[in-house]
Amino acid sequence: MASSTAIDARPPSSPTHKHNAITTTEEQHPLPERPEDTLRRALSARQVQMFSFAGVIGTGLFIGTGKALETGGPGSLLVCYTVVGAIVYLTMLSLGEMAAYMPISGSFCTFSSRFIDDAFGFTMTWISWFAAPVSMAADLVALQILIKYWTLDFPGWPVSLAVLVALVAANLISVRLYGEIEYWLGLLKVVTVVIFMIVGIVVNAGANTDHHYIGGENWRVPGGPFVGGAGGLASVFVSASLAYSGTESITFTAGETKNPTKTIPRAIKNVFWRVLLFYVVSVLLIGLNISYLDSRLLNKEKILRSPFTIILEMAGARAAGSFINAVIFTSAVSAGNHSIYIGGRLLYTLAIKGEAPCVFAKLTKNKVPWASLLATAFVSCLCFASSFVGSGQLWIWLQNLLGVSGQINWVVIGVLSIRFRAALKVQKKTHLLPFRNWTYPVGPWICVVLNTFILLVQGWTCFTPKFDAVNFVSFYIQLPVMLLLFVIRKVWKKTRAARISTMDLDTDAMTISDAEEENPPKDKMERMLNWFF
C-alpha cells in the first residue's frame, strides 16, 4: 500500500523514524519537509485545547436542540445526548491513541488506507471531505435562521455570502490566523454556555417573568417526556449526532500542531468535560424549562428560536435574548470557520495522494492549501438553496446528512482502533504508544456496535405514518454512495486489504521520545487552566 497518505509531519520519503531516539526536541530531531506537500506546524497547545473544548460547539447544540425537543420531548433529548456523548468519548479515546502515535492531518481517513484498505481510505476521505462543505452550508443557513430573530423582512442570503467571503479570506492568510480566530470565538462560546447554565438554573427555580417555580413540570406534559415513542427517540439521535459531529476532526489538526504527542492526548481528555458540561447539562436545563409544545420553538419554516435564547427571555431580559442570539450567530461563524479548514485539508490530502486533481495540492507561501479551500467554499454555496425551499427545511436536511456522516466516522474509528491495536501486538510495538486508550478492547467494540445500530434505526420516522422519500434520502444516501466509491476504487486500482502482520506502523510514527519538553505553569491559575483546558 502506498504510504504517501497524509498531510505529513514526516513525509513518506523521509527516513523511517528510529524508535530508540533519546533526544527530546524537534530542534535536535528536525522533521524533514517537502515544501510542495507539507503544511506548517503553527497551531499552539493553547489553540488546540480550545478547539477540542469548544471548536465544534455550534448550531447543532444551539439550534438543533430546539427541533430535537419538539420531535422527541425532554426525555428523548436527555437520553440521546447522554448516550451519544458517551459513545463520542469512547470514540475519541480510540482516535486519540492513534493520532498521538501518528500525528498526521489525514487522521482516520489516512488510517483507513493504512489499517484497512487503500480503497476504503479513498472512500472515507471523499465522504469526509463532502461533509465539510455540507457542514459549512448548514452553518451559513443557520445564520439566515438566526437573523430572523431581529427581523423577518431582511433576506438571509447576503448575510451568508458576507460571512462566506470573510471566512475564505481569513483561512487563506495563514493557519495561525485561523487558530486565533477559532480560539477567541471558542472562548466566547464557553463563556456563553456557562452563563446559560447559571441562568437556566435560576429560571427553573422561579426567577422568571411568571415568578413561577418550574421544577420538572415540563416532563409531565401530556404526551411526554418521550414524545412519539421509539420513533421520536430514534429521530433525536440524528440531532444528537449532529451536535457532537466534528469532535473527531480535532485530530485533523495534528499535522499542524506543535508537539502533537502531548497536545493531542490532552485535547482528547477534554472531550469528557465538554460532553458532561456543555451537552448533558445544557439539554437537561432545556428540557426542564421549555415544553416540547412551546410555540416559540417552531414556525412555518420549522425553526424560529434557539432554546438558549428562549430561556434568556424567560429570565425577563429581552436585551439578553438578543445578546445570546448574537453569540449563537458568532458560534455558527466559528463552526463554519472550522469546517472550511477541515475541508481544505482533506481535499489537499486527496490531491497529494493523486486521488483528486493536482491543482488542489497547491499551497500559498504560508503553506495554506488555497485551491482546496476555495473548492470547499464553492460547494458550501448549497446554503443559497434556502431561497427555494426555506432556510428551516434546508437546515433540517443538512442536519440529517451531517448526523449520519458523524456516525459513519465513529463506526470506522472503532474498527480502525481494533485493527491498530492488533497490529501493534503482533509487531510487538504496543509499548511505544505515547497515549493509551484505557477502554480498549471494550470501548472500540461499543463504538462499532452502538453506532451501527443507531445508524440503521435513526430514520424510523421516514416510514411512519407514511413513507417520506426526501427525508429517507437525507438519512441513508451516504451508505450506497460509500459502497459505490469503494467498489469503483477497489476494482480500478486492484487494492488489497492491509495485513495485521505487515501493517505500516513506522511511517509518520512519533513516540514518547519525540515529545518536546513544555514550559511548566507559572502559577496556580495557569496550572488550573492547563488542567481544565
Other CB atoms within a 10 A radius of the CB of residue 97 amount to: 26
The domain locations on the chain are: 60-525
- Cα 107 from Cα 45, distance rounded (Å): 18
Out of 1.20.1740.10, 3.30.70.250, 1.10.3470.10, 3.90.25.10, which CATH number does the structure's domain 60-525 have? 1.20.1740.10
- Cα 15 from Cα 305, distance rounded (Å): 56
Q: What is the pLDDT along the chain (533 residues), one digit of tens a residue?
A: 443 333 343 334 333 443 433 333 333 333 334 333 455 555 666 666 666 666 667 777 888 898 899 889 999 999 999 999 999 889 989 998 998 888 876 788 889 999 999 999 999 999 989 888 888 888 888 888 888 888 877 877 888 889 999 999 988 887 777 777 778 888 888 888 888 899 999 999 999 988 999 999 999 999 889 998 888 888 888 888 878 887 777 766 655 566 677 777 777 777 777 777 788 999 999 999 999 998 888 654 444 578 988 998 898 877 777 888 888 888 888 888 888 888 888 898 888 888 899 999 888 887 888 999 999 999 888 767 755 556 667 777 787 888 888 899 999 999 999 999 999 999 999 988 988 999 999 999 999 999 999 888 878 778 877 888 888 888 888 999 999 999 999 999 999 999 999 999 988 887 655 555 555 556 666 565 555 55
Per DSSP, what are the bridge partners of residue 257? 43
Residue where the block lists cell 471531505: 129
Residue where the block lists cell 449563537: 328
* Per-residue confidence (pLDDT) for residue 41, from 0 to 100: 54
Per DSSP, what are the bridge partners of residue 403? none
- Cα 408 from Cα 480, distance rounded (Å): 12
Q: What is the DSSP string of 250-301?
A: GGGGGGGBSSHHHHHHHHHHTHHHIIIIIIIHHHHHHHHHS-TT-GGG--TT
* Per-residue confidence (pLDDT) for residue 206, from 0 to 100: 94
**Three-state SS at 442:** helix
CB contact at 8 A, 452 and 530: no
Pick from 135, 132, 133: nearest CA to 64: 135
Is the C-alpha dihedral spanning 468, 474, 475, 477 positive or negative? Answer: positive
Measured CA distances, 488 to 7, 96, 277 (Å): 24, 31, 44
Which three cell numbers mark 362? 497547491
* Per-residue confidence (pLDDT) for residue 23, from 0 to 100: 36
CB contact at 8 A, 255 and 105: yes
CB contact at 8 A, 431 and 509: no
- Cα 427 from Cα 269, distance rounded (Å): 27
- Cα 65 from Cα 62, distance rounded (Å): 6
Pick from 195, 263, 261: nearest CA to 21: 261
Q: Is the peptide bond before 307 cis (omega within 30 degrees of 0)?
A: no
Is the C-alpha dihedral spanning 115, 450, 431, 510 positive or negative? Answer: positive
Total number of residues shown for the chain = 533
Is the C-alpha dihedral spanning 342, 345, 348, 353 positive or negative? Answer: negative
- Cα 143 from Cα 422, distance rounded (Å): 45
* Per-residue confidence (pLDDT) for residue 510, from 0 to 100: 74
Which three cell numbers mark 233? 427517540
Residue where the block lists cell 423582512: 153
* Per-residue confidence (pLDDT) for residue 313, from 0 to 100: 87
H or E, element range at 129 = helix 118-147
CB contact at 8 A, 132 and 342: yes
The rounded Cα 54 to chain-centroid distance in angstroms is 10
Helix (H), strand (E), coil (C) string for 354-371: CCCCHHHHCCCCCCCCHH
**Three-state SS at 43:** strand
* Per-residue confidence (pLDDT) for residue 26, from 0 to 100: 37
* Per-residue confidence (pLDDT) for residue 119, from 0 to 100: 95
Pick from 176, 13, 8, 39: nearest CA to 103: 8
Q: Is the peptide bond before 441 cis (omega within 30 degrees of 0)?
A: yes
CB contact at 8 A, 343 and 314: no
